[in-house]
Chain A
């Protein structure tokens, strides 16, 4: 049982990234691969600052800014140098690998002897439930914040930008600026997942971000299926489905491990699972 709760907590930690991918993929229709790098960046910044005995609350703005800068770079390359969004993201992600390695100094930093977000507060005496409660609380706050932003005038403008650039230009919106801000927000959220996971797993590894974008995409795709299924239209509902998607994703991975699948095959399982999520709704509409 604890095994599944662990997966549930991991799903919660990763759902911040899911919300980020929701913004880039669903709102802006940009496939943003920066994610792999900005997720690790968040974890790297967390590891360095925690090791230097920073307060874990004070680390959050630094993590957000680091992620946002990564997103801004991708955005600038995409909008001003007019390079395909996918390629822009790959460029920044690749560069970030070196930056992360330089910052971290080595490929793996354990965070066992420093206090962290999940151990510093006590809601429940059982440490697993305690982590669950803290993770949940954290994500609730993030979701409320993102939900609020998306419903403001600025948020409406952002959502319209992904829909009809001719309309938004005619309505006084600088589409390039919007895309850059959107990518900044998305990657800040992704870095925040790195912040959470590093503390939850008690280590930062330079390779922890490899292929993580597919997990985020999977969450959004599951969310999308749920949106259709439950006929959800409002923004808050859509964000909740992404979080459900992120949790479901981790539960499925935990299940595959529990039935004895070789952990080396985990990425293969992940990719196949995402493929399945994409295919199943199509089969339904085709029949």
Chain B
């Protein structure tokens, strides 16, 4: 599904503040694998997702999705495969637009935005039903603007928006970093369910080792722009939390 070949990413090339954020990273992720990525701050996790989604272009290497080389394909064109939940809860939604309009946009992610009115009663009902699984009471505030919601609420909605249209790959960058523990658990559980239900290929970045241990079918640890550990399903299943804490000491 996803193939990263010898990816390097350099920021501010030739300047004093030059950073080599990724160094010759190669990674193959088969369909329906749920990869959890951990690693210290600044180790290149977000950069890796940015290069995959097209938000940044890699300095060297190739990005291949579903057999197509997308290395130079802009982000808005890669959106036909990829849905994304950003580290920053404000990034994934439009503040001035209503919840309903945000969902409408998500529902037409992979198609042309036409001159037709798509927000009708049937669509409202669909959004209402989708949102009600969160149990946050947001299904009764569809006309309210996104900007009036809390970061956690917005993050939860961004997650649900990601499966409103046909999605093959789901990228989750610390989706629960801004959330209280109860909401965080809810979001991750919801994400896990969606990934299984829609047979998605997913990448989850987290700093929470408990979550990293509990979720996913593969575990990757990054350090200084490289993949330093890569555990497949059985190894990951056998891994205990204390062992993981060891890695960070």
CB distance from B202 to the nearest CB of A (A): 15
Give Cα A114–Cα B79 distance, bound, in whole angstroms.
54
A residues in contact with B143, CB < 8 Å: 233
B168 interface residue, CB < 8 Å from A? no
Residue of A nearest to B93 (CB): A167
Chain B, interface size category, equals 35 or more
Instruction: Please determine whether A171 and B109 come into contact, CB atoms closer than 8 angstroms.
Output: yes
Stretch at the interface among A146-154, A190-198, A276-284: A146-154
A173 interface residue, CB < 8 Å from B? yes
SS of A interface (majority): helix
Stretch at the interface among A84-92, A93-101, A156-164, A255-263: A156-164
Instruction: Please determine whether A167 and B114 come into contact, CB atoms closer than 8 angstroms.
Output: no
Known pairs A152-B116, A164-B91, A164-B94; A172 contacts B145 (CB<8 A): no
Instruction: Please determine whether B105 and A152 come into contact, CB atoms closer than 8 angstroms.
Output: no
CB distance from A231 to the nearest CB of B (A): 12
CB distance from B113 to the nearest CB of A (A): 4
Stretch at the interface among B80-88, B180-188, B209-217, B232-240: B80-88
Residue of A nearest to B96 (CB): A163
Residue tally, chain A, CB below 8 Å to B: 24
Known pairs A153-B108, A159-B101; A169 contacts B115 (CB<8 A): no
Instruction: Please determine whether A170 and B79 come into contact, CB atoms closer than 8 angstroms.
Output: yes
Binary interface profile of B, 136-157, with partner A (CB < 8 Å = 1, else 0)?
A: 0000000101000000000000
CB distance from A238 to the nearest CB of B (A): 10
Residue of A nearest to B161 (CB): A171
Residue of A nearest to B80 (CB): A172
A166 interface residue, CB < 8 Å from B? yes
Q: Given B95, B102, B110, which contacts A172 in the complex, CB threshold below 8 Å?
A: B110
Instruction: Please determine whether B94 and A159 come into contact, CB atoms closer than 8 angstroms.
Output: yes
Instruction: Please determine whether A174 and B76 come into contact, CB atoms closer than 8 angstroms.
Output: yes
Give Cα A173–Cα B102 distance, bound, in whole angstroms.
13
Instruction: Please determine whether B114 and A152 come into contact, CB atoms closer than 8 angstroms.
Output: yes
Give Cα A36–Cα B109 distance, bound, in whole angstroms.
37
B residues in contact with A154, CB < 8 Å: 113-115
Q: Given A149, A162, A174, which contacts B115 in the complex, CB threshold below 8 Å?
A: A149
A residues in contact with B79, CB < 8 Å: 169-172
Instruction: Please determine whether B95 and A164 come into contact, CB atoms closer than 8 angstroms.
Output: yes
Give Cα A173–Cα B111 distance, bound, in whole angstroms.
10
Instruction: Please determine whether A153 and B75 come into contact, CB atoms closer than 8 angstroms.
Output: no
CB distance from A230 to the nearest CB of B (A): 16
Instruction: Please determine whether A156 and B113 come into contact, CB atoms closer than 8 angstroms.
Output: yes
Give residues 61-108 of B contacting A (CB, 8 Å): 74-77, 79-80, 82-84, 86, 90-98, 101-102, 104-106, 108
Q: Given B77, B93, B118, which contacts A164 in the complex, CB threshold below 8 Å?
A: B93
Of all A-B residue pairs in the complex, the 8 with the closest CB atoms, nearest first, are A163-B94, A172-B79, A157-B113, A160-B94, A166-B91, A169-B75, A154-B113, A153-B118
B residues sitting closer than 8 Å to A (CB atoms) are 53, 55, 74-77, 79-80, 82-84, 86, 90-98, 101-102, 104-106, 108-111, 113-119, 143, 145
A residues sitting closer than 8 Å to B (CB atoms) are 148-149, 151-154, 156-157, 159-160, 162-164, 166-175, 233
